[in-house]
Structure 1
Amino acid sequence: MRLTLGPVLYLWDTDTWLDFYRRIADEADVNTVVLGEVVCSKRRHFHEQHLPAMVERLRRAGKAVRLASLALITLSREQRSTHDLTQRDDVEIEANDIAAHHTVAGRRHAIGPFVNVYNAATAKVLAWRGAASICLPPELPAASIAGIAAAVPDVELEVFAFGRAPLAISVRCAHARRKGLTKDNCRFVCGEEPDGLLVETLDRQPFLALNGIQTMSSTYSSLLGELSPLSKLGVGAMRLSPQRCDMVAVADTFRAAVSGRLSGAEAQGRLAELCPGVTFSNGAIHGQAGYLNVPAG
């Protein structure tokens, strides 16, 4: 089973972003790295100028590279930048919006987890239009994954296996509003929470996390205990979503579990050490509430 490192979904300062991907290039045992701003086009100027050099560095390190499109296109400049991105033929494109998929149709490309691929019929249409890889939405149960895998055996299916699950995206910025600001004058306050801003219920229970215009899970997804069943269903890759923890060690832990050097329980124990204070979840894959952590077996 292959490992894919998804794009950084948060706003990290430029030095942190550069140091992170340099270490990923040099040390992380992953097959594919996805780069690019997915959540908010206003963040793009922080890192965009560094993308060409980082693509080259990752390739020299033996990693396959994809460039991801925005998950929500609302402005003319976003439409233009998405069009420019999807016209590139020097790197594989990951479409996170159906408009981006439409532009790359007929060419080999990937589909990100923001496109709602909930059934076999949708997957077959995307494959017919050139999708060679599909990262399924994190809320899908194993039964749905099995049906999709059977329908598109020639497409590499990824599942979202680690990190805060992306749940929704909006034209409004709840993160800025929470801090008394507006989206147009946000001052990039989302950068103050490099792993998202936790939201609690009225009785102080963790509920969600805000990341700019994106809503995420408060828990970290972890499918270390489901690797073997998912492989048997036809899943070919696990997606690790960057968090502010040691992602090289997280990738090594998943690699050890994939290769059989660690059991699922041993790997999960190591992951808990790497992410102290984090609550893990895997309920969706078992057809239960997504925030739950269902014991293996």
Structure 2
Amino acid sequence: MTGDIAAKLVLGPVLFHWPAEQMADFYARIADEAEIDIVHLGEIVCSKRAPFFDPLLPDLIERLQRGGKEVVLASRALVMSERETKMTATQIEGAEETGFMVEANDLGAVRRLAGRRHVIGPFVNVYNEGTLAYLARQGAARVCLPPELPGTAIAALAKASDVPLEALVFGRMPLAISARCFHARAHGLHKDSCRYACGADPDGRTVNTLDGDAFLAINGTQTLSQTCLNLSGEIPGLLAAGIRHFRLSPQNLDMVAVARLFRSVAERRLDAPAATAQLSLLAGDLPFSNGFIHGREGRALIEARFGVPDRDQGAA
């Protein structure tokens, strides 16, 4: 970025089960057109999806690197079997041999990566300075904070951190991950014979309350926010607090245009209201939220203050 704002845009791993052709096309556009600095690759939600995605990795990595992107390999968010443990170990060993950093999304991966430079993903709970310092001592070179943190906590962690911190600023927020497959259950299927039902919902499947109100979204074994996080209005405050990495979580929309808008906001070439108006056109019916950073329920949409709430003021 230009001027005195040394910020970077990070594209998180695709959380959804997209067809291989869609994945290839998506990353080709990211490589050639997107104003993205770092791309995280990997199937982190369900190991059953990995055979569809892993064969694409060599070509995707080569294409992204040719496009000037730094590539980070993302590990699974929930490892439950010996097979998945071996898959994680193989991924980490292969990354070390080829020089790639790995994003750790569970504490097992954190343990395996101890002593090596790696990234901490948003699935690892980092809520205080002690945890942050411990992870840095283990070799974390960057930490993506969980999306549920209020702005006061983000500012406090940024002040105390010896490593760069990253904030999720766009996309459905990861809330939980389970051993059970919600998509399979919704279709009357068992997890072992799920028929990859999650592939029918490229942005996740909305879950309604008994009153019929949209509440959450499911993505296989994962629970996501029903709303799409949009912190474009908080970028100036996050920069002022010391955050320099901003993560966009892929949705089934024009992520090249999304990246362009966030880049423009971070470089002060576009104000947040104008960016949100354009993001709304891209997102269609997907509603926005920013409640967590204001200390409110995550699904709330609060008028941006263009700053992270001061510690003495408390959250909105």
TM-score by length of 1: 0.98
Match of 1:296 among 300, 304, 316: 304
Partner of 1:222: 230
| Secondary structure, counterpart of 1:71 in structure 2 | coil
- Taking only aligned residues, the RMSD between alpha carbons, in angstroms, comes to 0.7
Match of 1:273 among 262, 269, 281: 281
Partner of 2:271: 263
Partner of 1:24: 30
| Secondary structure, counterpart of 1:7 in structure 2 | coil
Query: How many angstroms does 1:191 deviate by?
Result: 0.3
- List alignment gaps of at least 5 residues for structure 2: 1-6, 306-316
| Secondary structure, counterpart of 1:184 in structure 2 | helix
Partner Cα distance (1:231, 1:251) in 2: 17
Partner Cα distance (1:296, 1:243) in 2: 22
Match of 1:103 among 100, 112, 124: 112
Partner of 2:185: 177
Query: How many angstroms does 1:147 deviate by?
Result: 1.6
Q: Which amino acid aligns with 1:228?
A: P
Partner of 1:49: 55
Q: Which amino acid aligns with 1:138?
A: P
| Secondary structure, counterpart of 1:208 in structure 2 | strand
Partner Cα distance (2:131, 2:242) in 1: 17
Q: Which amino acid aligns with 2:299?
A: Y
Partner Cα distance (1:221, 1:250) in 2: 12
- List alignment gaps of at least 5 residues for structure 1: none
Q: Where does structure 1 differ by over 2 angstroms across 4 or more consecutive aligned residues? A: none
Alignment of 1:231-242 (within 5 A): 231-242=239-250
- CA deviations 1:94-127 (Å, max 9, x no partner) are 0001110111111111000000111111011000
Alignment of 1:1-297 (within 5 A): 1-87=7-93, 88-89=95-96, 90-152=99-161, 154-297=162-305
Partner Cα distance (1:52, 1:120) in 2: 37
Query: How many angstroms does 1:277 deviate by?
Result: 1.2
Aligned residue pair count: 296
Higher mean displacement: 141-150 or 188-197:
141-150
- CA deviations 1:142-200 (Å, max 9, x no partner) are 11111211221x31111111010000000011111011001111000000001001001
- CA deviations 1:215-237 (Å, max 9, x no partner) are 00000000000001111111111
Partner Cα distance (1:108, 1:250) in 2: 29
- CA deviations 1:31-57 (Å, max 9, x no partner) are 100000000000000010110121111
Query: How many angstroms does 1:202 deviate by?
Result: 1.2
Query: How many angstroms does 1:64 deviate by?
Result: 0.5
| Secondary structure, counterpart of 2:131 in structure 1 | helix
TM-score by length of 2: 0.93
